Structures are given as C-alpha cells and as structure tokens.
Structure 1
Amino acid sequence: MLSDNDFPIFLGSEIEQPRPEDALFHVLPIPYEETVSYGGGTGKGPAAILEASWQLETFDNFSSPCELGIYTRSPVNVSGEAAQVMERIARATREIVEAGKMPVGIGGEHSVTWGVIKGYLDAGITDFGVVQIDAHADLRDRYEGHKHSHASVMRLVVEAGIPLFQLGIRAYCEEEMAARTQYGIHHLDAHELVPSNVQSFKLPENFPSKVFFTLDIDGIDPSVFPSTGTPVPGGLGWYQTLNLFESVAQQREIIGFDLLEFAPIEGFHAYDFAAAQLLYKLMGIIQRNRATQGQ
C-alpha cells in the first residue's frame, strides 16, 4: 500500500491506509538533511523506515498499536531555505494537532523537531514539555552559522519557554553546559544511566503534564544503531530506551513523538527494520498507557 505520492505507508503490508479522521497516529515523513556535520544519509531515513515496516507483525508482543489507526501522510517538501522548511513542517504538524491526532515525525536530521514543536505552538498548545533521548545536547546558539541546525534545535525549544528533560547525553560543549544552567534544563546523562542500567526515572513534580518525546537514534548505543551520522559510544541499550520511554508514558500524557537521525546503511536491512520496530513499539507503549490512564 502506497500513500498518495507513491511513498510507502507505515505497516502497509498488513493494514489499509485509513481515513485521516479514523487514525490516532499520523506518521509524518520529513526527509530533511541540510546541516549534518559528519556522516550523511538522514534524508533517506524516512523512506527506509517506512519500507522496512512492511516486515513488521501487527502484534508487538503486548498489543496491536495499529488498532488505534496509523495514517501515513505525504512527506513534507524539504526544498528551499531552512526557515521555509520549518514553516512547512509546522503547518503539517498544526493540521494534525488541530484534528485531535498525534504527530509521529520521522526524520531526517534533528533540526526538524523545531518545525514540529512550532506546529504545536501555532496550534495554541503551549502547556507541554519535551523529553529528549540523544547523544548530543543540541543546545548551541548556532552551529556552523546555522540557527536551524541539528546542533541547535533544543536551544530553540528552551528559548521558546518549553521545559526540557534530557536523557543519555554524552557529548556537549561548555556553551551547552552553560545553557543547561541558564534555562534550568533537567538531565540524566549517559554516565548516570548506562553503567547502572537505569530503566526508569521520575520527572520533576512541576514538569508539564503533557510531553512531546524526541528520540535521536544516536542516543542509542552504536552497537545497536551504527546507522546514524554522528555515533557516540556509551549510549542507551534497546530495552533501556523502551523502558525509559515507558517511564515517561506512565507519568505523563505523551502528545506526540519523533524519531530522527536514522541514516540507512546500504545492504544492512537489520537497522532499517530495527528503526521501524522501534517506532511501532513506541506506539504500542502509548496505546497501552492510554488504556491504563483511561485516555
């Protein structure tokens, strides 16, 4: 099953493309790659993940997330200047949010998260926080002259007044450390999580009740996902990542999430499949916690 522009739909071998109004999850491919600073390939990530999703089972070992409906939207047009691209991402996200649905972004480089967050703000949704899994803090004011850089995206988030909690960070500069203090950013870095195999944590009591979760593939250890442009050793494990996500879902209402920085390696389909499975398992965690919380 293909979308309107011949892009694969998520889990298309198993499900029909539903009507937009009948699906909770709205998958938004964002194949943007402009400011990457090391390895490339993130622009090919969305298509690889969607294609690999055709090999998934609808049952994720605990439930069938597709029962809530998964609608795959056409990819965002990522041509032109960064500011224009962010506006297009924001418009697409705003449409999803205003329809009462949940955006599921697939990147593309991490800079696209700002466009998604802007979509929430443009829709009048301001009472939420962001939880980030990443190898990098992404808190520079700008990087290589770019304000809309993958290394600056979380700076834009906190400058907009949105509370941020960072998980698994293990690469940051002095400027980013200062930004953490300046903006009161909560964090549990990799050295606090990985050696002790921490599987859950408590969000601060004053952290917003609604959360957007942004997951950079390089937050997971490169032994699991070498398929990213800026791998850093010492990252989270597969089950640890899922359990930390579930820890957030148990404490707060997740209103959307994205999966970024996946760069397919030609001939190594295992990583494409793992990324698709990760996306689907996150949907499953949301599905089950919504049921538990009566949402």
Structure 2
Amino acid sequence: MNTDSSEHYPIFLGSEIDQADPQQAMFHVLPVPYEKTVSYGGGTRLGPSAILNASWQLEKWDGKCNPCDLGIHTCAAVDCSVAPEQVIENIANATAEIVRNGGIPVVLGGEHTVTYGVLKGLKDAGMEDFGIVQIDAHADLRQAYEGDILSHASVMKRAVDMGIPLYQLGIRAFCEEEMQIREQFGVYYQDADALVPNNITSITLPDDFPENVFFTVDIDGMDPSVFPSTGTPVPGGLGWYQTLQLFESVAKQRRIIGFDVMEFAPIEGFHAYDFAASLLTYKLMGITARSLES
C-alpha cells in the first residue's frame, strides 16, 4: 500500500515540546508507513500517524525522568509509495542520516519489513558491530514467505544473512524451517512458553554478544490482552511491565543504538491502544536515556 497523503504526522510530544534541531536531538523519531506483505489483518501503515497523534496526550515525565530533555526530532515520513526495494533504500538513507547526526533512531512502522531498511541504514552509516534483540510473537526467519524475500515474515532472516547476531524474546509461532535457521545461525532465544509462565523479566546476554544493540519490538510480541491492535495476534504473549523490564535488562548490559516499534495497527474508535503504543515508545526512550547516563 502507498502512503496516504491525507495522513497527518505531527511531531512526537508536540503538545509539550518544540521540535529539536536534528544536530542536537538524541532521539530521532522516523515514521515509516509501509505495508505491503501483511498476511492477516491490515492497518500497519496507519500506525505511525496514530502513535504520533496520541503522543500529544503524554506527560513529559515518564515516571523516572524527562526523556525529551535529551531532544526529540521527528523526521519526515519515509516515502513508501515506490517499489519495495526503493522503500528499503529510503528507510536506510533516513536511518543513516540520523546516525551521522549523532542521533538514536526511533522508528515507527509499518510492517516489520521496515526493520531491514533500518539495519541496512545502520551499516551504511558505519555501524558494523551490533546485535539485535527482538520481541515478537513470530520468529520472522523464513527465507521467503509467499515467494517474497522482503516479507515481514522474513525480516530476521535478512538480518542474520547480514551477519548480525540475534537474540529473540517471546516467540510463540514459528515453523520447522525457522527452527533450523535458528540452529544454523546460532540465534539466541527465550520463547514465550518459558518467559511468560515464569514471569521472567530480565535476561543475561551472552559474553560474545556485541556491545551495541538495536532493539526491535513487534507489537504482537505482547499479549493480545494488552495489544489486540496488530495484524497477527497470538495468545500467550508478554505483559506490559515484563516487556519494559526485559528492554531495561538489555539496556543495563549494552548500549542501545536505536529501537523500533513495528506492526501497530490502530483500531478505529479504540484510542486507548494508540496511547499505549505511544507511551511504550516514550518509555523505551526513557530507559535508553537513563542507560546512557549510568
């Protein structure tokens, strides 16, 4: 699907703060309303605008600090009206520019394919040694899905093909091919059937996991009781506080170089989920900000 020109992209937390200069902002919010390969429910292209609009209802104080004090710059939405390969390049170029400005990309999707463009942009900007921590219901490790290697169901396969170490959290829907790819590429994981019943809220990254980490959050990694607003919900997912605590446990061990919030598909008339997705984004900024100061 193409970007709808009628969609509105306000600046993040614009009711409370002014747009920060890109050379001075720590957090660069990048909306990417890309949706092409969703395989069940749709609507992810509307996620970025819904999150940005809901952010005007947030408080500056996240409960522990004011993440916005480090500066938030909201970028122009990525042009998603072109061919998929060009969309990936557009995402990569926008991400690389953020990194070269000294910022931390905070990317709002869109389907999970968007993350491939972000990872490419990090590498294009000279960040070679980093790992990925993924919260998701799905492994996304298929070589291709429905014949498409740029499918949302293949994005983590593109990542490991790039040589990026991967640690998966909360997975509870995957196929035999993905189990084999996990073994082949040495993917680390703690699946939902271990995390959720035991209420595990922290992980210890392996000693050889890179110092720099990009954290990708698929909204469907959280339980549908928290976020039914996603295209491919799976029961048995992570809770709100568990998700935040897992993110924080990683931030205490490694340097967060960026994160994304993917696959949010707003439900018309249920603005609570828009607000929750926006608050999640800001809470992750807060955890990242505090980790940089510690």
TM-score normalised by L of structure 1: 0.97
Which residue matches 1:156? Answer: 158
The correspondence for 2:42, drawn from 36, 40, 43, is 40
Q: Give the superposition deviation at 1:279.
A: 0.2
- Structure 2 CA distance, aligned partners of 1:129 and 1:246? 16
The correspondence for 1:265, drawn from 267, 273, 286, is 267
Which residue matches 1:97? Answer: 99
Amino acid at match of 2:83: E
SS of residue paired to 2:227: coil
Amino acid at match of 2:203: F
Q: Percent identity?
A: 66
1:18-65 CA distances to partner (integer Å, 9 max, x unpaired)? 111121000000000000000000000000000000000000111000
- Structure 1 CA distance, aligned partners of 2:205 and 2:213? 11
- Structure 2 CA distance, aligned partners of 1:247 and 1:288? 12
1:150-186 CA distances to partner (integer Å, 9 max, x unpaired)? 0000000000000000000000000000000000000
Q: Please say if residues 20 and 73 of structure 2, whose CA atoms lie closer than 8 Å, have aligned partners that are also in contact.
A: yes
Q: Give the superposition deviation at 1:99.
A: 1.4
Amino acid at match of 1:35: T
1:64 aligns with 2:89: no
SS of residue paired to 1:254: strand
Which residue matches 2:4? Answer: none
Which residue matches 1:231? Answer: 233
- Structure 1 CA distance, aligned partners of 2:180 and 2:218? 22
SS of residue paired to 1:114: helix
Which residue matches 2:210? Answer: 208
Aligned ranges 1:1-295 → 2 under 5 Å: 7-292=9-294
Q: Which runs of 5+ in 2 are unaligned?
A: 1-6
SS of residue paired to 1:106: strand
SS of residue paired to 2:92: helix
- Structure 2 CA distance, aligned partners of 1:75 and 1:146? 24
- Structure 2 CA distance, aligned partners of 1:52 and 1:7? 11
- Structure 1 CA distance, aligned partners of 2:205 and 2:211? 10
SS of residue paired to 1:231: coil
1:248-291 CA distances to partner (integer Å, 9 max, x unpaired)? 00000000000000000000000000000000000000111111
Q: Please say if residues 8 and 49 of structure 2, whose CA atoms lie closer than 8 Å, have aligned partners that are also in contact.
A: no
Q: Give the superposition deviation at 1:98.
A: 1.2
Amino acid at match of 2:27: F
Amino acid at match of 1:236: L
Say how many residue pairs are matched: 288
- Structure 1 CA distance, aligned partners of 2:183 and 2:157? 12
Amino acid at match of 1:15: I
1:108-165 CA distances to partner (integer Å, 9 max, x unpaired)? 0000000000001111211000000000000000001111110000000000000000
Cα 1:6–1:229 shift into 2, 3 Å: closer
- Structure 1 CA distance, aligned partners of 2:207 and 2:213? 13
Q: Which runs of 4+ in 1 moved over 6 A?
A: none
Q: Give the superposition deviation at 1:6.
A: 5.8
Q: Give the superposition deviation at 1:7.
A: 2.0
Q: Which runs of 5+ in 1 are unaligned?
A: none
SS of residue paired to 1:241: helix
SS of residue paired to 2:256: strand
